[in-house]
Amino acid sequence: MIFGRSERGMPQVEPVTLKILVAGGFGVGKTTLVGAVSEIRPLRTEEVLTEAGRPVDDTSGVESKHTTTVAMDFGRITLREDLTLYLFGTPGQDRFWFLWDELAAGALGAVVLADTRRLEDCFAAVDYFERRTIPFVVGVNCFEEAARYPAEAVRRALDLDDDVPVVLCDARERQSVKEVLVEVVRHAMAYTADDRASVST
């Protein structure tokens, strides 16, 4: 690309940047997901869990976790020459939820990451995006030690609308995470188109 033109003389494609949130319960893999796919060194705001936090940080099921996100994770991925996603990982604990509204401002859509061993931990994130009509995809992070369930079983357990995509993924694997993000963009675009159509009629 040279001075606004491609090497073949085609006009430069106007780049589009989109903001995507990555949400879910404590220890579900949000920081891992952002780090796995980011093409830049991800910004992390992790702090070590302390004894003082034990009364408020529920580590049941994630006893090996020693750090927690206290503000956000940030990463970037270019899906196409003209499409870049900025990823914002939200903190998982209740005491940091006051940050969510600011992080959600201007977001096209979201990934709600779920762990089938602690599925109830993502209820709050699902409710948050439903109430604010922000389109979202549920990504089931398939931990090695967790039982595997079909996507439709997860949908029923979370009482999701039929149009909300449920995708099985591995938050450690770049290609798996890319597939989830592509699904978020597709779903958000379709959601926006349907919303505009309903307004025009």
Question: In CATH, what number is assigned to the domain containing residue 115?
Answer: 3.40.50.300
What does the pLDDT look like over 103-124, one tens digit per residue?
A: 999 999 999 999 999 999 999 9
Q: 7 in a domain, yes or no? A: no
Q: 116 in a domain, yes or no? A: yes
What does the pLDDT look like over 132-181, one tens digit per residue?
A: 999 999 999 999 888 899 999 999 999 999 999 999 999 999 999 999 99
Number of domains in the chain: 1
What is the rounded (10 degree) CA torsion for 180, 120, 62, 100?
60
What does the pLDDT look like over 32-76, one tens digit per residue?
A: 999 999 999 988 765 554 454 445 555 555 555 455 554 589 999
Q: 6 in a domain, yes or no? A: no
Hey, CA dihedral for 64, 67, 69, 75, is it positive or negative? negative
pTM: 0.79
Region of residue 126 (left: phi > 0; alpha: psi -120 to 50; beta: else):
alpha
How distant, in Å, are the alpha carbons of 63, 72, 95 from that of 59?
5, 19, 14
Across 187-199, average pLDDT: 81
> Sorting pLDDT into bands at 50, 70 and 90, what band is 200?
low
Q: 67 in a domain, yes or no? A: yes
Q: 11 in a domain, yes or no? A: no
Range of the domain at 104: 16-200
Q: 96 in a domain, yes or no? A: yes
Q: 50 in a domain, yes or no? A: yes
Q: 74 in a domain, yes or no? A: yes
